[in-house]
């Protein structure tokens, strides 16, 4: 059946209710083992559990945590057949995206899951996520970073958190699920990434290297410059309207964007919309971004765009090279632009 490493990083699944709100449970590993043993699920793969010394509320996640999690996976890579990462839901899709870029050529599954209700509570959705996550960690042919949640297996770097308080919290807007739990739990082999030669690269991230600029009606050039002129900044994920349109009548804003590109800042254009993609050639307003050197982000999710830009800027010094790679699918995160 294989053997799985469960890496507990924090999140709702490992919490207990207190008078001050949910807090990490001090006996979570024992509870996890008991709930799985009592589930009656036959033929679960064997597993070991590692907990981070300091558990992370995922709202406090930083890029340094991505590297920490990836480093632990790499250290144990040859010892297990698959890896189940327990993570808070708020930033789960960011971590899944970042891991997918650092674990290039992976030949084993990394399944990320958690829950909306703590495992310590009777109605918890965590037990199903744990059981199916463990089975997926030894699924033949699965060799990528995925999120399993509420009966669906999703490519990690195609996933976004869609709902704050419902059990089907995650969606993959521009790619079908890789699998759906039913009588059988089998990934769709036609959608899976192939395993490649291992090429793990875990950079040192600069947390100030990337920011997000959200365009909105009436945005001022002053507001944009407050972000764009921050000294350590090297990359921006810009959220625009529709298929990638900016308010090009705001000439001061467009000049601020152009000046940032000229300084070597990589600006990646992503739509506010969940579904569809950026096409900067559809409208004249969008084409104005082509003229000043803004990079189209295609159908990247916000989480994947942010993590990919962080990863590439940590690995590459040449902005032109980063722009080129942002338009190219590296780990199934997008269609080519």
Options 89, 159, 271, 301, the catalytic residue: 89
Q: Of the candidates 209, 210, 207, 215, which has an alpha carbon nearest to the alpha carbon of residue 242? A: 215
**The CATH number of 210-327 is which of 3.40.710.10, 3.40.50.40, 3.40.30.10, 3.40.50.300?**
3.40.50.40
- Give the pLDDT confidence score for residue 18 in this predicted structure: 82
Assign a CATH topology to domain 3-180: Rossmann fold (3.40.50)
Told to judge if 18 belongs to the known catalytic residues of this protein, a careful annotator would answer no
- The structural domains of the chain, with segments of one domain joined by +, span 3-180, 210-327
- 3-class state of residue 307 by DSSP: helix
- 3-class state of residue 13 by DSSP: helix
Integer Cα distance of 304 and 116 in angstroms: 22
pLDDT tens, 122-133?
A: 999 999 999 999
* Residue 57 CB-half CA count within 13 A: 7
Query: Taking the C-alpha atoms of 84, 89, 94 and 100 in order, what is their torsion angle to the nearest 10 degrees?
Result: 20
The 235-240 sheet, strands edge to edge: 210-214, 235-240, 266-271, 295-296
Decide: 292 and 254 in contact? Cβ < 8 Å: yes
Annotated binding site for substrate: 58, 89-90
Tell me the two tokens of residue 267. Answer: 């600006």
Percent of the chain residues topping a pLDDT of 90: 91
Please provide the size of the chain in residues: 337
Options 9, 12, 159, 285, the catalytic residue: 12
- Give the pLDDT confidence score for residue 193 in this predicted structure: 96
pLDDT tens, 233-250?
A: 999 999 999 999 999 999
- Give the pLDDT confidence score for residue 115 in this predicted structure: 98
Q: For residue 270, what pLDDT band results from cuts at 50, 70 and 90?
A: very high
**CA 160: distance to chain centroid?**
7
Q: Matching CATH topology for 3-180 and 210-327?
A: yes
Pairing of strands 110-113, 210-214: unpaired
Tell me the two tokens of residue 105. Answer: 């050529």
pTM above 0.85, yes or no: yes
Letter string b/e over residues 12-31, b meaning 16 or more CB atoms within 10 A of that residue's CB? bbbbbeeeeebebbeebbeb
Annotated binding site: 58, 89-90
- Give the pLDDT confidence score for residue 319 in this predicted structure: 98
Percent of the chain residues topping a pLDDT of 70: 100
pLDDT tens, 278-334?
A: 999 889 899 999 999 999 999 999 999 999 999 999 999 999 999 999 999 999 999
Tell me the two tokens of residue 268. Answer: 């990646």
Told to judge if 54 belongs to the known catalytic residues of this protein, a careful annotator would answer no
Backbone angles phi, psi at 112, to 5 degrees: -110, 130
Q: How far apart are the first and last CA of the chain?
A: 41
């Amino acid at each position: 059946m294989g053997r799985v490493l469960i890496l507990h990083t924090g999140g709702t699944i490992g919490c207990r209710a207190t008078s001050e709100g949910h807090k990490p449970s001090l006996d979570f590993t024992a509870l996890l083992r008991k709930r799985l043993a009592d589930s009656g699920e036959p033929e679960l793969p064997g597993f070991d559990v590692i907990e981070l010394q300091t558990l992370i509320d995922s709202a406090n996640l930083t890029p340094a945590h991505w590297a920490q999690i990836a480093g632990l996976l790499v250290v144990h890579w040859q010892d297990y057949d698959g890896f189940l990462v327990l993570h808070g839901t708020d930033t789960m899709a960011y971590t899944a995206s970042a891991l997918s870029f650092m674990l290039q050529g992976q030949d084993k599954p990394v399944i990320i899951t958690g829950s909306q209700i703590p495992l310590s509570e009777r109605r918890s959705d965590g037990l199903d996520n744990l059981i199916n996550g463990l089975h997926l960690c030894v699924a033949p042919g699965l060799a990528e970073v995925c999120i399993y949640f509420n009966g669906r297996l999703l490519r990690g770097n195609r996933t976004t958190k869609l709902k704050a308080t419902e059990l089907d919290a995650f969606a993959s807007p521009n790619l079908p699920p890789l699998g759906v739990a039913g009588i059988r739990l089998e990934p769709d082999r036609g959608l899976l990434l192939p395993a490649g030669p291992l090429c793990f690269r875990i950079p040192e991230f600069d947390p100030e290297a990337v920011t997000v600029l959200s365009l909105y009606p009436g945005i001022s050039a002053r507001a944009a410059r407050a972000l764009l002129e921050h000294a350590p900044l090297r990359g921006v994920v810009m959220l625009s309207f529709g298929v990638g349109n900016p308010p090009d009548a705001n000439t001061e804003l467009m000049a601020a964007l152009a000046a940032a590109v000229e300084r070597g800042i990589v600006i990646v254009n992503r739509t506010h919309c969940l579904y569809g993609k950026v096409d900067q050639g559809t409208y004249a307003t969008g084409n104005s971004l082509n003229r000043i050197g803004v990079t189209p982000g295609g159908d990247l999710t916000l989480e994947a765009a942010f993590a990919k830009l962080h990863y590439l800027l940590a690995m590459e010094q040449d902005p032109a090279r980063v722009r080129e790679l942002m338009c190219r699918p590296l780990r199934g995160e997008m269609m080519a632009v």
